[in-house]
Structure 1
Amino acid sequence: MKKVIFGFNLWRKLMIILLTVVMANFFVAPLVHAAIIPSTTVSFTCSSFDSGTIYSYNAPNGSKVWRISGESSFSTHYGFLYVYADGNLIAEFDDYNQSFDVSNLSASNITVITQKTSKSGLMGIKNGIIYVGFDVADNDAVKDAGGTVLSAARNAYSAAEAAKNSAATAATNAQNAYNAANAAKTSAAAAAANTIYNGQSAAYWAYQAAQSGADTTPPVIQKVQGLNGATCTTTGTFSVVVQATDNRAGQLQARAQVDGGAWTGWYNIPGNAIPVTLSSSGAHTITVEVKDLAGNTSQATITAFRI
Protein backbone atom coordinates (compact mmCIF):
# COMPACT_ATOMS: atom_id res chain seq x y z
CA MET A 1 0.00 0.00 0.00
CA LYS A 2 1.09 3.60 -0.43
CA LYS A 3 0.15 7.02 0.88
CA VAL A 4 0.51 10.38 -0.92
CA ILE A 5 1.81 13.31 1.14
CA PHE A 6 1.81 16.89 -0.19
CA GLY A 7 4.07 19.76 0.98
CA PHE A 8 4.44 23.34 -0.42
CA ASN A 9 7.27 25.89 -0.56
CA LEU A 10 4.55 28.56 -0.54
CA TRP A 11 6.58 31.77 -0.51
CA ARG A 12 8.70 31.07 -3.59
CA LYS A 13 5.91 29.43 -5.56
CA LEU A 14 3.36 32.15 -4.78
CA MET A 15 5.86 34.79 -5.89
CA ILE A 16 6.31 33.01 -9.23
CA ILE A 17 2.53 32.78 -9.71
CA LEU A 18 2.11 36.46 -8.72
CA LEU A 19 4.75 37.59 -11.22
CA THR A 20 3.08 35.46 -13.90
CA VAL A 21 -0.29 37.09 -13.24
CA VAL A 22 1.22 40.59 -13.30
CA MET A 23 2.95 39.89 -16.61
CA ALA A 24 -0.27 38.45 -18.02
CA ASN A 25 -2.20 41.63 -17.12
CA PHE A 26 0.55 43.91 -18.40
CA PHE A 27 0.70 42.46 -21.92
CA VAL A 28 -2.27 42.16 -24.23
CA ALA A 29 -1.46 38.57 -25.22
CA PRO A 30 0.65 36.70 -22.59
CA LEU A 31 2.85 34.09 -24.26
CA VAL A 32 4.31 32.10 -21.36
CA HIS A 33 3.25 31.18 -17.81
CA ALA A 34 4.55 28.81 -15.17
CA ALA A 35 2.77 26.01 -13.35
CA ILE A 36 4.07 24.88 -9.96
CA ILE A 37 4.49 21.15 -9.36
CA PRO A 38 3.50 20.56 -5.71
CA SER A 39 6.24 18.91 -3.67
CA THR A 40 4.79 15.42 -3.66
CA THR A 41 6.12 12.34 -1.88
CA VAL A 42 4.87 8.76 -1.91
CA SER A 43 5.38 6.64 1.21
CA PHE A 44 5.92 2.93 0.49
CA THR A 45 5.28 0.47 3.30
CA CYS A 46 5.49 -2.78 1.35
CA SER A 47 8.14 -4.63 -0.63
CA SER A 48 8.26 -5.95 -4.20
CA PHE A 49 7.24 -3.87 -7.21
CA ASP A 50 4.80 -1.10 -6.37
CA SER A 51 4.29 1.87 -8.67
CA GLY A 52 1.88 4.64 -9.43
CA THR A 53 1.33 8.15 -10.78
CA ILE A 54 2.02 10.87 -8.21
CA TYR A 55 1.47 13.89 -10.44
CA SER A 56 -0.10 14.66 -13.82
CA TYR A 57 -0.45 17.98 -15.62
CA ASN A 58 -2.45 18.78 -18.77
CA ALA A 59 -1.61 21.99 -20.63
CA PRO A 60 -4.58 24.35 -21.27
CA ASN A 61 -6.12 24.35 -24.74
CA GLY A 62 -3.99 26.21 -27.22
CA SER A 63 -0.81 25.85 -25.18
CA LYS A 64 2.07 23.42 -24.80
CA VAL A 65 4.59 22.60 -22.09
CA TRP A 66 7.97 23.63 -23.48
CA ARG A 67 10.16 23.28 -20.38
CA ILE A 68 10.06 21.47 -17.01
CA SER A 69 12.50 21.55 -14.09
CA GLY A 70 12.58 20.06 -10.62
CA GLU A 71 14.44 17.81 -8.21
CA SER A 72 13.98 14.20 -7.14
CA SER A 73 13.36 13.41 -3.47
CA PHE A 74 14.38 9.99 -2.09
CA SER A 75 14.81 8.49 1.38
CA THR A 76 15.97 5.14 0.00
CA HIS A 77 18.04 3.82 -2.89
CA TYR A 78 15.47 1.13 -3.66
CA GLY A 79 13.19 2.97 -6.04
CA PHE A 80 12.84 4.85 -9.31
CA LEU A 81 11.23 8.12 -10.40
CA TYR A 82 10.17 8.71 -14.01
CA VAL A 83 9.01 11.93 -15.74
CA TYR A 84 7.07 11.57 -19.00
CA ALA A 85 6.03 14.16 -21.61
CA ASP A 86 3.16 12.92 -23.76
CA GLY A 87 4.14 9.36 -22.84
CA ASN A 88 7.82 9.84 -23.71
CA LEU A 89 10.37 9.37 -20.93
CA ILE A 90 12.35 12.62 -20.45
CA ALA A 91 13.92 12.12 -16.98
CA GLU A 92 14.77 9.13 -14.80
CA PHE A 93 16.18 9.05 -11.24
CA ASP A 94 17.33 6.39 -8.80
CA ASP A 95 19.19 8.49 -6.21
CA TYR A 96 18.77 11.33 -3.75
CA ASN A 97 18.14 14.95 -4.76
CA GLN A 98 19.01 14.85 -8.45
CA SER A 99 18.03 17.99 -10.39
CA PHE A 100 16.62 18.02 -13.90
CA ASP A 101 15.78 20.73 -16.42
CA VAL A 102 14.40 19.70 -19.81
CA SER A 103 13.55 22.31 -22.47
CA ASN A 104 12.56 22.41 -26.14
CA LEU A 105 9.48 20.33 -25.42
CA SER A 106 6.07 20.64 -27.04
CA ALA A 107 3.96 18.47 -24.77
CA SER A 108 0.31 18.47 -23.79
CA ASN A 109 0.76 16.26 -20.72
CA ILE A 110 3.40 15.82 -18.02
CA THR A 111 3.24 12.74 -15.80
CA VAL A 112 5.44 11.78 -12.83
CA ILE A 113 5.52 8.08 -11.88
CA THR A 114 7.28 6.31 -9.01
CA GLN A 115 8.22 2.66 -8.77
CA LYS A 116 9.39 0.90 -5.58
CA THR A 117 11.30 -2.38 -5.72
CA SER A 118 11.94 -3.32 -2.07
CA LYS A 119 12.15 -1.95 1.45
CA SER A 120 10.18 0.98 2.86
CA GLY A 121 10.87 4.63 2.17
CA LEU A 122 9.78 7.90 0.54
CA MET A 123 10.06 8.92 -3.10
CA GLY A 124 8.81 11.92 -4.99
CA ILE A 125 9.50 15.28 -6.60
CA LYS A 126 10.14 18.79 -5.20
CA ASN A 127 10.85 22.33 -6.40
CA GLY A 128 9.15 21.54 -9.70
CA ILE A 129 8.11 24.16 -12.25
CA ILE A 130 6.35 23.61 -15.58
CA TYR A 131 6.74 26.37 -18.19
CA VAL A 132 3.77 26.66 -20.55
CA GLY A 133 3.58 28.62 -23.80
CA PHE A 134 0.78 29.09 -26.31
CA ASP A 135 1.00 26.82 -29.32
CA VAL A 136 0.93 29.33 -32.17
CA ALA A 137 0.18 26.55 -34.64
CA ASP A 138 -3.21 25.99 -32.95
CA ASN A 139 -4.12 29.37 -31.50
CA ASP A 140 -4.63 32.17 -34.04
CA ALA A 141 -5.36 34.67 -31.26
CA VAL A 142 -1.69 34.91 -30.31
CA LYS A 143 -0.12 34.74 -33.77
CA ASP A 144 1.80 37.69 -35.06
CA ALA A 145 1.87 38.69 -38.73
CA GLY A 146 4.23 35.84 -39.58
CA GLY A 147 2.70 33.32 -37.16
CA THR A 148 6.03 32.86 -35.30
CA VAL A 149 5.48 34.30 -31.80
CA LEU A 150 6.26 31.16 -29.83
CA SER A 151 9.06 30.21 -32.20
CA ALA A 152 10.63 33.64 -31.73
CA ALA A 153 10.29 33.34 -27.95
CA ARG A 154 11.99 29.96 -27.98
CA ASN A 155 14.73 31.27 -30.26
CA ALA A 156 15.27 34.19 -27.88
CA TYR A 157 15.55 31.78 -24.97
CA SER A 158 18.07 29.66 -26.92
CA ALA A 159 20.05 32.77 -27.84
CA ALA A 160 20.13 33.85 -24.20
CA GLU A 161 21.42 30.41 -23.17
CA ALA A 162 24.08 30.58 -25.91
CA ALA A 163 25.10 34.07 -24.75
CA LYS A 164 25.42 32.84 -21.18
CA ASN A 165 27.61 29.94 -22.32
CA SER A 166 29.72 32.28 -24.46
CA ALA A 167 30.18 34.60 -21.49
CA ALA A 168 31.31 31.68 -19.34
CA THR A 169 33.77 30.62 -22.03
CA ALA A 170 35.07 34.19 -22.34
CA ALA A 171 35.58 34.34 -18.57
CA THR A 172 37.54 31.08 -18.68
CA ASN A 173 39.68 32.36 -21.57
CA ALA A 174 40.34 35.61 -19.70
CA GLN A 175 41.47 33.68 -16.62
CA ASN A 176 43.75 31.52 -18.78
CA ALA A 177 45.22 34.63 -20.39
CA TYR A 178 45.81 36.16 -16.95
CA ASN A 179 47.56 32.99 -15.78
CA ALA A 180 49.69 32.91 -18.94
CA ALA A 181 50.67 36.57 -18.44
CA ASN A 182 51.72 35.88 -14.86
CA ALA A 183 53.76 32.88 -16.00
CA ALA A 184 55.45 35.02 -18.67
CA LYS A 185 56.21 37.68 -16.06
CA THR A 186 57.82 35.08 -13.80
CA SER A 187 59.86 33.69 -16.69
CA ALA A 188 61.00 37.17 -17.68
CA ALA A 189 62.10 37.90 -14.11
CA ALA A 190 64.03 34.62 -14.00
CA ALA A 191 65.68 35.41 -17.36
CA ALA A 192 66.65 38.87 -16.13
CA ALA A 193 68.14 37.38 -12.96
CA ASN A 194 70.21 34.99 -15.05
CA THR A 195 71.86 37.92 -16.87
CA ILE A 196 73.39 39.28 -13.63
CA TYR A 197 76.85 38.19 -12.43
CA ASN A 198 78.62 39.58 -9.40
CA GLY A 199 76.14 42.45 -9.28
CA GLN A 200 76.66 43.50 -12.91
CA SER A 201 74.67 42.83 -16.09
CA ALA A 202 75.77 40.74 -19.04
CA ALA A 203 76.01 43.95 -21.06
CA TYR A 204 78.49 45.34 -18.53
CA TRP A 205 80.70 42.28 -18.75
CA ALA A 206 80.54 42.32 -22.54
CA TYR A 207 81.65 45.94 -22.49
CA GLN A 208 84.51 45.20 -20.12
CA ALA A 209 85.68 42.32 -22.27
CA ALA A 210 85.56 44.50 -25.37
CA GLN A 211 87.67 47.20 -23.75
CA SER A 212 90.92 45.36 -23.23
CA GLY A 213 90.25 41.70 -22.59
CA ALA A 214 90.39 40.20 -19.11
CA ASP A 215 91.05 42.49 -16.11
CA THR A 216 94.18 41.34 -14.23
CA THR A 217 95.02 44.58 -12.43
CA PRO A 218 94.37 44.54 -8.65
CA PRO A 219 92.76 47.50 -6.91
CA VAL A 220 94.92 50.10 -5.17
CA ILE A 221 94.35 50.54 -1.43
CA GLN A 222 94.65 54.24 -0.62
CA LYS A 223 93.85 54.30 3.09
CA VAL A 224 93.04 51.94 5.98
CA GLN A 225 92.21 53.40 9.38
CA GLY A 226 89.87 53.20 12.33
CA LEU A 227 86.45 54.81 12.08
CA ASN A 228 86.80 58.55 12.61
CA GLY A 229 90.59 58.07 12.80
CA ALA A 230 90.45 55.84 15.93
CA THR A 231 93.52 53.74 16.82
CA CYS A 232 92.22 52.00 19.96
CA THR A 233 89.13 50.75 21.72
CA THR A 234 88.10 49.96 25.29
CA THR A 235 85.21 47.65 24.38
CA GLY A 236 86.92 45.16 22.08
CA THR A 237 84.91 46.25 19.02
CA PHE A 238 86.87 48.18 16.39
CA SER A 239 85.57 49.52 13.06
CA VAL A 240 87.87 49.70 10.03
CA VAL A 241 87.38 52.16 7.16
CA VAL A 242 88.93 51.39 3.75
CA GLN A 243 89.41 53.57 0.69
CA ALA A 244 90.60 52.09 -2.64
CA THR A 245 90.52 52.63 -6.41
CA ASP A 246 90.59 50.33 -9.44
CA ASN A 247 91.51 50.62 -13.11
CA ARG A 248 87.95 49.77 -14.18
CA ALA A 249 84.53 50.87 -13.04
CA GLY A 250 82.63 48.64 -10.67
CA GLN A 251 81.89 48.05 -7.01
CA LEU A 252 84.88 47.29 -4.80
CA GLN A 253 84.53 45.12 -1.72
CA ALA A 254 86.71 44.63 1.37
CA ARG A 255 87.04 42.21 4.29
CA ALA A 256 89.27 42.05 7.38
CA GLN A 257 90.94 39.64 9.81
CA VAL A 258 92.62 40.14 13.20
CA ASP A 259 96.00 38.59 13.97
CA GLY A 260 95.67 36.11 11.08
CA GLY A 261 92.30 34.80 12.29
CA ALA A 262 89.06 34.25 10.39
CA TRP A 263 88.01 36.71 7.70
CA THR A 264 84.88 38.79 8.06
CA GLY A 265 82.29 38.87 5.29
CA TRP A 266 82.69 41.15 2.28
CA TYR A 267 81.54 44.78 2.60
CA ASN A 268 80.95 47.28 -0.23
CA ILE A 269 83.39 50.19 -0.02
CA PRO A 270 83.46 53.04 0.45
CA GLY A 271 80.37 53.64 2.53
CA ASN A 272 80.66 50.74 4.98
CA ALA A 273 82.96 50.28 7.98
CA ILE A 274 84.14 46.72 8.68
CA PRO A 275 83.59 45.65 12.33
CA VAL A 276 86.27 43.43 13.95
CA THR A 277 86.83 42.19 17.49
CA LEU A 278 90.01 42.78 19.50
CA SER A 279 89.71 39.90 21.96
CA SER A 280 92.41 40.94 24.44
CA SER A 281 94.25 44.00 25.67
CA GLY A 282 97.26 45.16 23.76
CA ALA A 283 98.26 45.63 20.13
CA HIS A 284 96.58 43.73 17.31
CA THR A 285 97.35 43.49 13.60
CA ILE A 286 94.37 44.03 11.35
CA THR A 287 94.73 42.84 7.74
CA VAL A 288 92.39 44.24 5.10
CA GLU A 289 91.81 42.66 1.66
CA VAL A 290 90.13 44.53 -1.22
CA LYS A 291 88.82 42.90 -4.42
CA ASP A 292 87.41 44.23 -7.69
CA LEU A 293 84.68 42.74 -9.91
CA ALA A 294 87.20 40.59 -11.77
CA GLY A 295 88.35 39.03 -8.48
CA ASN A 296 91.76 40.77 -8.32
CA THR A 297 92.79 41.48 -4.71
CA SER A 298 95.15 43.72 -2.70
CA GLN A 299 95.98 43.70 1.03
CA ALA A 300 97.09 46.22 3.64
CA THR A 301 97.53 46.17 7.44
CA ILE A 302 97.16 48.53 10.40
CA THR A 303 97.77 48.16 14.11
CA ALA A 304 95.01 48.83 16.64
CA PHE A 305 95.01 48.65 20.44
CA ARG A 306 92.59 47.48 23.07
CA ILE A 307 93.06 49.23 26.41
Structure 2
Amino acid sequence: MTVLDSPPVNAPRPGPTAGTSTGSGQAQARRTELAAFLKACRARVTPGDVGLPPGLRRRTPGLRREEVAQLAGVGVTWYTWLEQGRPINASEQVLSAIARALLLDDVQRTHLYRLAGLPADDTGGALCPTIDSAMQKILDGLAPMPAAISNRRYDVLAYNAGYDALFPGATRAFAPHGKRNSMWCALTVPDCCNPFVNRDEELPRMVGVMRAAYASHVGEPTWERWVRELSTASPRFRELWASQQVAPPTTTLKVFRHAAVGEIRVQAAYLTMPGWPELYLVAYTAERPLDHERMAWITAHPDAPVNDHSH
Protein backbone atom coordinates (compact mmCIF):
# COMPACT_ATOMS: atom_id res chain seq x y z
CA MET A 1 0.00 0.00 0.00
CA THR A 2 1.42 3.35 -1.04
CA VAL A 3 1.22 6.09 1.55
CA LEU A 4 1.03 9.65 0.28
CA ASP A 5 2.26 12.68 2.17
CA SER A 6 -0.61 14.64 0.66
CA PRO A 7 -4.26 13.71 0.16
CA PRO A 8 -4.96 11.06 -2.47
CA VAL A 9 -6.54 12.19 -5.73
CA ASN A 10 -10.05 11.32 -4.57
CA ALA A 11 -9.62 12.75 -1.07
CA PRO A 12 -11.02 16.18 -0.21
CA ARG A 13 -8.65 19.13 -0.06
CA PRO A 14 -8.31 21.52 2.85
CA GLY A 15 -11.15 23.99 2.93
CA PRO A 16 -14.34 24.90 4.74
CA THR A 17 -16.59 22.04 5.73
CA ALA A 18 -19.46 21.68 3.28
CA GLY A 19 -22.47 23.75 4.22
CA THR A 20 -20.59 25.81 6.83
CA SER A 21 -18.18 28.71 6.95
CA THR A 22 -14.70 28.44 8.35
CA GLY A 23 -15.61 30.74 11.21
CA SER A 24 -18.79 28.91 12.13
CA GLY A 25 -18.81 28.12 15.83
CA GLN A 26 -20.93 25.02 15.29
CA ALA A 27 -18.62 23.71 12.55
CA GLN A 28 -15.55 24.34 14.70
CA ALA A 29 -17.13 22.55 17.66
CA ARG A 30 -17.87 19.57 15.46
CA ARG A 31 -14.32 19.50 14.10
CA THR A 32 -12.94 19.67 17.63
CA GLU A 33 -15.16 16.78 18.68
CA LEU A 34 -14.11 14.81 15.58
CA ALA A 35 -10.43 15.36 16.43
CA ALA A 36 -10.92 14.18 20.01
CA PHE A 37 -12.88 11.12 18.84
CA LEU A 38 -10.19 10.09 16.35
CA LYS A 39 -7.44 10.45 18.95
CA ALA A 40 -9.37 8.36 21.48
CA CYS A 41 -10.11 5.63 18.92
CA ARG A 42 -6.47 5.57 17.79
CA ALA A 43 -5.30 5.17 21.39
CA ARG A 44 -7.51 2.11 21.85
CA VAL A 45 -6.06 0.13 18.92
CA THR A 46 -2.74 -1.63 19.48
CA PRO A 47 -0.34 -2.49 16.65
CA GLY A 48 -1.04 -6.16 17.28
CA ASP A 49 -4.77 -5.58 16.71
CA VAL A 50 -4.08 -4.60 13.11
CA GLY A 51 -1.15 -6.88 12.36
CA LEU A 52 1.67 -4.38 12.86
CA PRO A 53 4.85 -5.05 14.87
CA PRO A 54 4.91 -3.38 18.30
CA GLY A 55 8.14 -1.50 17.62
CA LEU A 56 10.47 0.05 20.16
CA ARG A 57 10.16 3.18 22.31
CA ARG A 58 6.43 3.56 21.74
CA ARG A 59 5.67 6.61 23.85
CA THR A 60 1.93 6.87 23.12
CA PRO A 61 -0.81 4.29 23.64
CA GLY A 62 -2.29 2.68 20.60
CA LEU A 63 -1.36 3.45 17.02
CA ARG A 64 0.71 6.33 15.74
CA ARG A 65 -0.83 8.78 13.29
CA GLU A 66 1.42 7.55 10.50
CA GLU A 67 0.27 3.99 11.14
CA VAL A 68 -3.38 4.97 10.82
CA ALA A 69 -2.59 6.86 7.64
CA GLN A 70 -0.75 3.84 6.24
CA LEU A 71 -3.60 1.49 7.05
CA ALA A 72 -6.18 3.86 5.56
CA GLY A 73 -4.10 4.70 2.49
CA VAL A 74 -4.10 8.46 3.07
CA GLY A 75 -1.34 10.97 3.55
CA VAL A 76 0.15 11.45 7.01
CA THR A 77 -0.10 15.22 6.69
CA TRP A 78 -3.76 15.08 5.70
CA TYR A 79 -4.66 12.69 8.53
CA THR A 80 -2.76 14.91 10.98
CA TRP A 81 -4.83 17.89 9.83
CA LEU A 82 -7.99 15.87 10.44
CA GLU A 83 -6.90 15.02 13.99
CA GLN A 84 -5.99 18.64 14.59
CA GLY A 85 -9.50 19.78 13.81
CA ARG A 86 -8.52 21.78 10.75
CA PRO A 87 -11.30 22.89 8.37
CA ILE A 88 -10.92 20.14 5.77
CA ASN A 89 -13.53 18.01 4.07
CA ALA A 90 -13.50 14.22 4.22
CA SER A 91 -15.27 12.02 1.69
CA GLU A 92 -17.31 8.96 2.57
CA GLN A 93 -14.67 6.75 0.91
CA VAL A 94 -11.82 8.18 2.99
CA LEU A 95 -13.79 8.08 6.23
CA SER A 96 -14.72 4.47 5.55
CA ALA A 97 -11.01 3.63 5.16
CA ILE A 98 -10.19 5.40 8.43
CA ALA A 99 -13.04 3.59 10.18
CA ARG A 100 -11.65 0.24 9.02
CA ALA A 101 -8.14 1.20 10.12
CA LEU A 102 -9.40 2.10 13.60
CA LEU A 103 -11.58 -1.04 13.83
CA LEU A 104 -14.74 1.00 14.45
CA ASP A 105 -18.03 -0.81 14.97
CA ASP A 106 -21.31 0.30 13.36
CA VAL A 107 -22.22 2.77 16.10
CA GLN A 108 -18.74 4.32 16.14
CA ARG A 109 -18.68 4.52 12.34
CA THR A 110 -22.04 6.33 12.30
CA HIS A 111 -20.75 8.72 14.97
CA LEU A 112 -17.61 9.39 12.91
CA TYR A 113 -19.66 10.18 9.80
CA ARG A 114 -21.96 12.56 11.66
CA LEU A 115 -19.06 14.42 13.26
CA ALA A 116 -17.55 14.83 9.81
CA GLY A 117 -20.83 16.24 8.49
CA LEU A 118 -21.62 13.31 6.21
CA PRO A 119 -24.78 11.18 6.12
CA ALA A 120 -24.07 7.77 7.61
CA ASP A 121 -25.54 4.61 6.18
CA ASP A 122 -27.42 2.85 8.94
CA THR A 123 -26.53 -0.82 8.77
CA GLY A 124 -29.42 -1.78 11.05
CA GLY A 125 -27.89 -1.47 14.50
CA ALA A 126 -29.22 1.98 15.33
CA LEU A 127 -32.61 1.68 13.66
CA CYS A 128 -33.21 -1.99 14.34
CA PRO A 129 -31.46 -2.97 17.59
CA THR A 130 -32.19 -6.20 19.38
CA ILE A 131 -34.98 -5.58 21.90
CA ASP A 132 -33.94 -7.08 25.21
CA SER A 133 -36.12 -9.34 27.37
CA ALA A 134 -36.87 -6.56 29.87
CA MET A 135 -38.51 -4.43 27.18
CA GLN A 136 -40.48 -7.41 25.91
CA LYS A 137 -41.76 -8.04 29.44
CA ILE A 138 -42.96 -4.45 29.61
CA LEU A 139 -44.84 -4.91 26.34
CA ASP A 140 -46.35 -8.19 27.50
CA GLY A 141 -47.38 -6.62 30.81
CA LEU A 142 -49.45 -4.02 28.96
CA ALA A 143 -51.70 -6.64 27.32
CA PRO A 144 -54.52 -6.65 26.40
CA MET A 145 -53.60 -3.05 25.60
CA PRO A 146 -51.88 -3.33 22.19
CA ALA A 147 -48.30 -2.04 22.32
CA ALA A 148 -45.24 -2.23 20.11
CA ILE A 149 -41.74 -0.82 19.71
CA SER A 150 -41.04 0.66 16.31
CA ASN A 151 -38.36 2.75 14.66
CA ARG A 152 -38.81 6.00 12.77
CA ARG A 153 -39.39 4.10 9.52
CA TYR A 154 -42.31 2.23 11.16
CA ASP A 155 -40.53 -1.14 11.29
CA VAL A 156 -42.21 -3.15 14.06
CA LEU A 157 -39.32 -4.50 16.17
CA ALA A 158 -41.25 -5.96 19.11
CA TYR A 159 -44.91 -6.22 20.09
CA ASN A 160 -47.31 -7.90 22.48
CA ALA A 161 -50.23 -10.26 21.88
CA GLY A 162 -52.74 -7.41 21.80
CA TYR A 163 -50.91 -5.60 18.99
CA ASP A 164 -50.48 -8.84 17.05
CA ALA A 165 -54.20 -9.59 17.30
CA LEU A 166 -55.22 -6.08 16.28
CA PHE A 167 -52.74 -5.43 13.46
CA PRO A 168 -51.43 -8.80 12.19
CA GLY A 169 -50.51 -7.42 8.79
CA ALA A 170 -47.84 -5.32 10.48
CA THR A 171 -46.41 -8.13 12.62
CA ARG A 172 -46.56 -11.41 10.75
CA ALA A 173 -44.93 -10.27 7.50
CA PHE A 174 -46.93 -12.78 5.51
CA ALA A 175 -46.96 -13.04 1.72
CA PRO A 176 -47.66 -11.21 -0.49
CA HIS A 177 -46.88 -8.14 1.65
CA GLY A 178 -43.70 -9.39 3.26
CA LYS A 179 -42.85 -6.44 5.52
CA ARG A 180 -43.10 -6.27 9.29
CA ASN A 181 -43.91 -2.59 9.06
CA SER A 182 -47.08 -0.69 9.95
CA MET A 183 -46.67 1.90 7.18
CA TRP A 184 -46.20 -0.82 4.56
CA CYS A 185 -49.30 -2.63 5.83
CA ALA A 186 -51.41 0.53 5.86
CA LEU A 187 -50.36 1.41 2.31
CA THR A 188 -50.27 -1.94 0.51
CA VAL A 189 -52.78 -4.33 2.09
CA PRO A 190 -56.03 -4.20 0.06
CA ASP A 191 -58.93 -2.27 1.56
CA CYS A 192 -61.03 -5.40 1.97
CA CYS A 193 -58.34 -7.05 4.11
CA ASN A 194 -56.82 -4.07 5.85
CA PRO A 195 -57.67 -3.91 9.59
CA PHE A 196 -56.72 -0.22 9.71
CA VAL A 197 -59.97 1.60 8.93
CA ASN A 198 -59.29 5.34 9.10
CA ARG A 199 -56.22 5.29 6.87
CA ASP A 200 -57.35 8.23 4.73
CA GLU A 201 -57.21 10.49 7.79
CA GLU A 202 -54.11 8.97 9.36
CA LEU A 203 -51.79 8.33 6.43
CA PRO A 204 -50.99 12.02 5.77
CA ARG A 205 -49.96 12.39 9.41
CA MET A 206 -47.95 9.15 9.42
CA VAL A 207 -46.07 10.08 6.27
CA GLY A 208 -45.51 13.56 7.73
CA VAL A 209 -43.94 12.04 10.85
CA MET A 210 -41.67 9.90 8.70
CA ARG A 211 -40.79 12.89 6.52
CA ALA A 212 -39.75 14.84 9.64
CA ALA A 213 -37.55 11.92 10.76
CA TYR A 214 -36.06 11.67 7.26
CA ALA A 215 -34.48 15.10 7.66
CA SER A 216 -31.87 13.50 9.96
CA HIS A 217 -31.13 10.75 7.43
CA VAL A 218 -31.10 12.41 4.00
CA GLY A 219 -28.70 10.57 1.74
CA GLU A 220 -28.36 7.48 3.92
CA PRO A 221 -28.65 4.46 1.61
CA THR A 222 -30.92 2.49 3.94
CA TRP A 223 -33.43 5.32 4.20
CA GLU A 224 -33.26 6.21 0.52
CA ARG A 225 -33.86 2.58 -0.42
CA TRP A 226 -36.89 2.42 1.90
CA VAL A 227 -38.42 5.56 0.39
CA ARG A 228 -37.92 4.11 -3.09
CA GLU A 229 -39.57 0.82 -2.10
CA LEU A 230 -42.61 2.57 -0.65
CA SER A 231 -42.85 4.87 -3.66
CA THR A 232 -42.81 1.88 -6.00
CA ALA A 233 -45.36 -0.07 -3.97
CA SER A 234 -47.83 2.72 -3.31
CA PRO A 235 -49.03 5.61 -5.50
CA ARG A 236 -50.66 7.07 -2.38
CA PHE A 237 -47.30 7.20 -0.62
CA ARG A 238 -45.68 8.88 -3.64
CA GLU A 239 -48.36 11.55 -3.55
CA LEU A 240 -48.04 12.17 0.19
CA TRP A 241 -44.24 12.12 0.15
CA ALA A 242 -44.14 14.63 -2.69
CA SER A 243 -46.34 17.03 -0.68
CA GLN A 244 -43.39 17.71 1.68
CA GLN A 245 -45.71 17.89 4.71
CA VAL A 246 -44.19 17.19 8.15
CA ALA A 247 -45.95 16.29 11.38
CA PRO A 248 -45.10 15.50 15.03
CA PRO A 249 -45.81 12.06 16.58
CA THR A 250 -48.83 13.14 18.65
CA THR A 251 -51.58 11.07 20.29
CA THR A 252 -54.22 10.30 17.70
CA LEU A 253 -57.37 8.25 17.13
CA LYS A 254 -57.01 5.03 15.17
CA VAL A 255 -59.86 2.79 14.15
CA PHE A 256 -59.42 -0.92 13.48
CA ARG A 257 -61.82 -3.70 12.55
CA HIS A 258 -61.82 -7.38 13.37
CA ALA A 259 -64.17 -9.92 11.82
CA ALA A 260 -64.96 -11.50 15.19
CA VAL A 261 -65.82 -8.37 17.20
CA GLY A 262 -66.28 -5.48 14.77
CA GLU A 263 -64.82 -2.00 15.08
CA ILE A 264 -62.24 -1.12 17.74
CA ARG A 265 -61.43 2.52 18.46
CA VAL A 266 -58.15 3.35 20.22
CA GLN A 267 -55.99 6.32 21.11
CA ALA A 268 -52.42 5.79 19.90
CA ALA A 269 -49.88 7.33 22.30
CA TYR A 270 -46.17 7.53 21.43
CA LEU A 271 -43.46 7.33 24.08
CA THR A 272 -39.84 8.12 23.26
CA MET A 273 -36.99 5.91 24.45
CA PRO A 274 -33.95 7.96 25.59
CA GLY A 275 -31.54 5.03 25.24
CA TRP A 276 -32.62 4.53 21.63
CA PRO A 277 -33.38 7.88 20.01
CA GLU A 278 -34.48 6.18 16.78
CA LEU A 279 -37.15 4.12 18.58
CA TYR A 280 -40.48 4.76 20.24
CA LEU A 281 -43.09 2.72 22.09
CA VAL A 282 -46.66 3.04 20.85
CA ALA A 283 -49.55 1.98 23.09
CA TYR A 284 -53.21 1.81 22.06
CA THR A 285 -55.66 2.73 24.83
CA ALA A 286 -59.34 1.90 24.40
CA GLU A 287 -61.56 4.89 23.65
CA ARG A 288 -64.66 3.19 25.18
CA PRO A 289 -65.26 0.31 27.61
CA LEU A 290 -66.61 -1.65 24.63
CA ASP A 291 -63.30 -1.24 22.83
CA HIS A 292 -61.42 -2.57 25.88
CA GLU A 293 -63.71 -5.63 25.99
CA ARG A 294 -63.16 -6.28 22.29
CA MET A 295 -59.38 -5.93 22.60
CA ALA A 296 -59.39 -8.37 25.52
CA TRP A 297 -61.40 -10.86 23.50
CA ILE A 298 -59.21 -10.84 20.38
CA THR A 299 -56.07 -11.05 22.54
CA ALA A 300 -57.48 -14.12 24.27
CA HIS A 301 -58.41 -15.66 20.89
CA PRO A 302 -55.33 -15.12 18.70
CA ASP A 303 -56.47 -17.70 16.13
CA ALA A 304 -59.71 -15.86 15.37
CA PRO A 305 -59.49 -14.63 11.75
CA VAL A 306 -59.19 -10.89 11.33
CA ASN A 307 -61.08 -10.97 8.03
CA ASP A 308 -64.20 -12.83 6.99
CA HIS A 309 -62.70 -13.88 3.66
CA SER A 310 -59.43 -14.81 2.03
CA HIS A 311 -57.89 -14.32 -1.41
TM-score, length-normalised on structure 2?
A: 0.20
Larger radius of gyration between Structure 1 and Structure 2? 1
Greater fraction of residues in helix: 2
Greater fraction of residues in strand: 1
TM-score, length-normalised on structure 1?
A: 0.21
